Amino acid sequence: MIILTEGNTNPVAAKTATSVIRYRREEVVAILDSQQQGGTSQELLGLGGDLPIIGQLDQCPDANTLLIGIAPAGGRFPNAWRLIIIEAIERGLNIVSGLHDFLSDDAQLSRVAKVNRVTLTDVRKNDQRRVASREGIREDCLRIHTVGADCGVGKMVTAIEINEGLKSRGHDAKFVATGQTGIMIEGDGCPIDCVVADFVNGAAEKLILDRQDHDILLVEGQGSLVHPRYSAVTLGLLHGCMPQGMILCYEVGRTAVHGMEQVSLLSLEKLVEIYEMMASAMHPSQIIGISMNSRRVSDAEATAERERVRKRLGLPVCDIFRHGPDDLIDAVLRLQIELFA
């Protein structure tokens, strides 16, 4: 596949691209951004090695899919991309999109896709119409939920890395994707932020009911309980998936809500209090560890921050990429023993 990030090839705007490259590198042949042509993924996104940035589709003739690699606030379709997508369709590429604006609802794109016999896949499209029941929940399935101080702090990658670590230690774990990028990586899940509000809790509960044959579920979190834009998504997901344990994710040095500089972030202590109170209103739950995203600071600063937060909160703390996820995996297994042994 080729990943389209036109004009947005940086780790924040191209969050989807970055994660797809991280976890499905072998399927990606190029990044399409005419403004950054000639560079490499490693230079611009900090991963992906020599994966090339191409300026035009004909520079990469062997792809069969174009994946839209950005996740803008509101999920709108940048209209400037229409011509690129039409060209891709005409070259026979299937299109995969995680935007709120569904490509398959666009009359022109649908028509062109039909003529060229390619598929338009809207990962966020869903028809969830189920309210939560609170029935049939398997109590000895351990549900771990990654929650956050904000968007874009590492809730998805924390769930994935813990899941991978548990599996490599021989445990029967499963990553439960709740956003478009997670679904692209895992191949299943529910785009919870695109469910009609009345059915968010029910859709999250269904994710659990359908997967509780596994011993441990790692449920990807969304937004934050105190996010001015997305707290509805966060609470519905939290209440629907009823975690016994939560891992709080934050970014070192971030002081305001991403994209809303006038809104300050809360302290980790306050976040622990809020998440534990709101989760436990539905099912007893505790924060069992802190996932610290330290991408913007040095090794020394990361080490110092890790020690400080460990001491302040009395919880395991690590940057899953810098330090590895073992401390958090151990915390999950301790909770499993505490609850079920």
Residues near its own copies (CB under 8 A) are: 73-76, 100, 129-135, 192-202, 225-237, 239, 260, 262-263, 266, 274, 277-278, 281-282
Shortest Å, Cβ 137 to its own copies: 11
Shortest Å, Cβ 65 to its own copies: 25
Of 32 and 204, which has the nearer Cβ to its own copies?
204
- The string of DSSP codes covering 225-264 is TT-TTTHHHHHHHHHHH--SEEEEEEETT--EETTEEEEE
Going by C-alpha positions, the residue among 273, 272, 161 that lies closest to residue 220 is 161
Of 237 and 297, which has the nearer Cβ to its own copies?
237
Q: In angstroms, rounded to a whole number, what is the distance separating the alpha carbons of residues 42 and 48?
A: 5
Of 211 and 239, which has the nearer Cβ to its own copies?
239
Shortest Å, Cβ 62 to its own copies: 35
DSSP state of 129: -
Of 134 and 308, which has the nearer Cβ to its own copies?
134
Residue 323 tokens, joined: 């330090």
Residue 159 tokens, joined: 């769930």
Shortest Å, Cβ 264 to its own copies: 11
Shortest Å, Cβ 322 to its own copies: 30
Task: Please return the burial class of 286, using the count of CB atoms within 10 Å of its CB with bins 0-12, 13-18 and 19+.
Answer: middle
Of 63 and 99, which has the nearer Cβ to its own copies?
99
Residues 50-82, buried b or exposed e (16+ Cβ, 10 A)? ebbbbeebeebeebebbbbbbbeeebebbeebe
Helix (H) or strand (E) holding 202: helix 200-209
Task: Give me the long-range contacts of 166-171 (CB less than 8 A, separation at least 24).
Answer: 166/216, 166/218, 166/329, 166/332, 166/333, 169/329, 171/215, 171/216, 171/333
Q: In angstroms, rounded to a whole number, what is the distance separating the alpha carbons of residues 327 and 331?
A: 6
Shortest Å, Cβ 292 to its own copies: 22
Of 12 and 115, which has the nearer Cβ to its own copies?
12
Q: In angstroms, rounded to a whole number, what is the distance separating the alpha carbons of residues 114 and 159?
A: 37
Shortest Å, Cβ 13 to its own copies: 16
Evaluate whether 129 touches 104 at the Cβ level (below 8 Å).
no
Of 1 and 208, which has the nearer Cβ to its own copies?
208
Shortest Å, Cβ 288 to its own copies: 22
Of 1 and 192, which has the nearer Cβ to its own copies?
192
